[in-house]
Protein backbone atom coordinates (compact mmCIF):
# COMPACT_ATOMS: atom_id res chain seq x y z
CA UNK A 1 0.00 0.00 0.00
CA UNK A 2 1.17 3.49 -0.85
CA UNK A 3 1.70 5.30 2.46
CA UNK A 4 1.34 8.76 0.89
CA UNK A 5 -2.14 7.81 -0.31
CA UNK A 6 -3.08 6.48 3.13
CA UNK A 7 -2.94 10.00 4.54
CA UNK A 8 -5.00 11.54 1.75
CA UNK A 9 -8.68 12.00 2.51
CA UNK A 10 -11.26 12.02 -0.27
CA UNK A 11 -14.88 13.07 0.16
CA UNK A 12 -17.31 11.47 -2.30
CA UNK A 13 -20.60 13.37 -2.73
CA UNK A 14 -23.16 11.42 -4.77
CA UNK A 15 -26.85 10.65 -4.23
CA UNK A 16 -26.36 7.16 -5.70
CA UNK A 17 -25.31 4.59 -3.11
CA UNK A 18 -24.15 2.32 -5.96
CA UNK A 19 -21.73 4.97 -7.24
CA UNK A 20 -20.46 5.69 -3.73
CA UNK A 21 -19.80 2.00 -3.05
CA UNK A 22 -17.96 1.62 -6.38
CA UNK A 23 -15.79 4.73 -5.95
CA UNK A 24 -15.12 3.94 -2.30
CA UNK A 25 -14.01 0.36 -3.11
CA UNK A 26 -11.68 1.53 -5.90
CA UNK A 27 -10.08 4.32 -3.89
CA UNK A 28 -9.89 2.35 -0.63
CA UNK A 29 -7.94 -0.33 -2.51
CA UNK A 30 -5.47 2.42 -3.51
CA UNK A 31 -4.96 3.37 0.14
CA UNK A 32 -7.04 6.55 0.33
CA UNK A 33 -9.18 7.38 3.34
CA UNK A 34 -12.73 7.80 2.05
CA UNK A 35 -15.61 9.79 3.51
CA UNK A 36 -18.99 9.76 1.80
CA UNK A 37 -22.06 11.97 1.64
CA UNK A 38 -25.35 11.18 -0.11
CA UNK A 39 -26.26 14.86 -0.42
CA UNK A 40 -24.83 18.34 -0.05
CA UNK A 41 -26.11 18.75 3.51
CA UNK A 42 -24.16 15.64 4.58
CA UNK A 43 -21.14 16.93 2.65
CA UNK A 44 -21.15 20.18 4.67
CA UNK A 45 -21.29 18.17 7.91
CA UNK A 46 -18.26 16.15 6.74
CA UNK A 47 -16.37 19.32 5.78
CA UNK A 48 -16.92 20.78 9.25
CA UNK A 49 -15.51 17.65 10.93
CA UNK A 50 -12.67 16.76 8.64
CA UNK A 51 -11.12 18.59 5.70
CA UNK A 52 -10.55 16.32 2.67
CA UNK A 53 -7.66 16.76 0.23
CA UNK A 54 -10.07 16.09 -2.66
CA UNK A 55 -13.81 16.08 -3.34
CA UNK A 56 -15.43 13.83 -5.96
CA UNK A 57 -18.75 15.50 -6.77
CA UNK A 58 -21.84 14.37 -8.65
CA UNK A 59 -23.77 17.19 -10.34
CA UNK A 60 -27.34 15.87 -10.40
CA UNK A 61 -28.56 15.59 -6.83
CA UNK A 62 -31.88 16.44 -5.14
CA UNK A 63 -32.46 19.74 -3.30
CA UNK A 64 -28.97 21.23 -3.68
CA UNK A 65 -27.19 20.34 -6.93
CA UNK A 66 -23.51 19.68 -7.39
CA UNK A 67 -23.32 22.97 -9.32
CA UNK A 68 -24.61 24.92 -6.31
CA UNK A 69 -22.27 23.05 -3.95
CA UNK A 70 -19.26 23.69 -6.21
CA UNK A 71 -20.19 27.36 -6.40
CA UNK A 72 -20.48 27.61 -2.61
CA UNK A 73 -17.19 25.73 -2.06
CA UNK A 74 -15.28 28.05 -4.38
CA UNK A 75 -16.76 31.21 -2.80
CA UNK A 76 -15.78 30.12 0.72
CA UNK A 77 -12.23 31.01 1.83
CA UNK A 78 -12.02 27.86 3.99
CA UNK A 79 -12.91 25.45 1.17
CA UNK A 80 -11.93 27.19 -2.07
CA UNK A 81 -8.51 25.48 -2.20
CA UNK A 82 -9.91 21.93 -2.00
CA UNK A 83 -9.70 20.42 -5.49
CA UNK A 84 -12.99 19.11 -6.88
CA UNK A 85 -13.30 16.46 -9.57
CA UNK A 86 -16.77 16.21 -11.09
CA UNK A 87 -18.06 12.64 -11.53
CA UNK A 88 -21.23 12.89 -13.59
CA UNK A 89 -23.43 11.40 -16.28
CA UNK A 90 -23.85 14.94 -17.62
CA UNK A 91 -21.24 14.76 -20.35
CA UNK A 92 -21.98 17.52 -22.84
CA UNK A 93 -19.19 19.98 -23.58
CA UNK A 94 -21.14 22.99 -22.27
CA UNK A 95 -21.64 21.51 -18.79
CA UNK A 96 -18.08 20.22 -18.60
CA UNK A 97 -16.77 23.69 -19.52
CA UNK A 98 -19.16 25.31 -17.02
CA UNK A 99 -17.90 23.23 -14.09
CA UNK A 100 -14.24 23.74 -15.04
CA UNK A 101 -14.89 27.49 -15.30
CA UNK A 102 -16.50 27.32 -11.84
CA UNK A 103 -13.30 25.87 -10.40
CA UNK A 104 -13.46 22.08 -10.77
CA UNK A 105 -10.02 20.65 -11.57
CA UNK A 106 -11.22 17.73 -13.71
CA UNK A 107 -14.25 15.86 -15.02
CA UNK A 108 -14.96 12.12 -15.05
CA UNK A 109 -17.88 10.75 -17.04
CA UNK A 110 -20.23 8.09 -15.72
CA UNK A 111 -20.11 5.19 -16.13
CA UNK A 112 -16.72 5.60 -14.49
CA UNK A 113 -13.59 4.39 -16.24
CA UNK A 114 -11.72 3.02 -13.22
CA UNK A 115 -8.21 3.44 -14.64
CA UNK A 116 -8.93 7.04 -15.70
CA UNK A 117 -10.47 7.79 -12.29
CA UNK A 118 -7.42 6.53 -10.39
CA UNK A 119 -5.04 8.45 -12.70
CA UNK A 120 -6.99 11.70 -12.29
CA UNK A 121 -7.18 11.31 -8.50
CA UNK A 122 -3.45 10.57 -8.25
CA UNK A 123 -2.58 13.48 -10.57
CA UNK A 124 -4.71 15.87 -8.53
CA UNK A 125 -3.33 14.76 -5.17
CA UNK A 126 0.36 14.65 -6.12
Give me the domains of the chain, ranges plus CATH numbers: 3-125 (3.40.50.2300)
Write out pLDDT tens, residues 61-75.
999 999 999 999 999
pLDDT at 7: 81
Omega cis (within 30) before 111 = yes
**Helix (H), strand (E) at residue 19:** helix 17-29
Residue 15 DSSP SS3: coil
Q: Is the pLDDT of residue 81 over 80?
A: yes
Write out pLDDT tens, residues 7-38.
899 999 999 999 999 999 999 999 999 999 99
**Is the CB of residue 68 less than 8 Å from the CB of residue 40?**
yes
- In 3D space, the residue among 31, 20, 36 whose CA is nearest the CA of residue 122 turns out to be 31
- In 3D space, the residue among 123, 80, 89 whose CA is nearest the CA of residue 108 turns out to be 89
Amino acid sequence: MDTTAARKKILIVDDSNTNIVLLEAILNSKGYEIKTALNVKEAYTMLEKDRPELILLDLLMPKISGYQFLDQLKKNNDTREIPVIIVSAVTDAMNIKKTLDMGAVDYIEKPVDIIALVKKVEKTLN
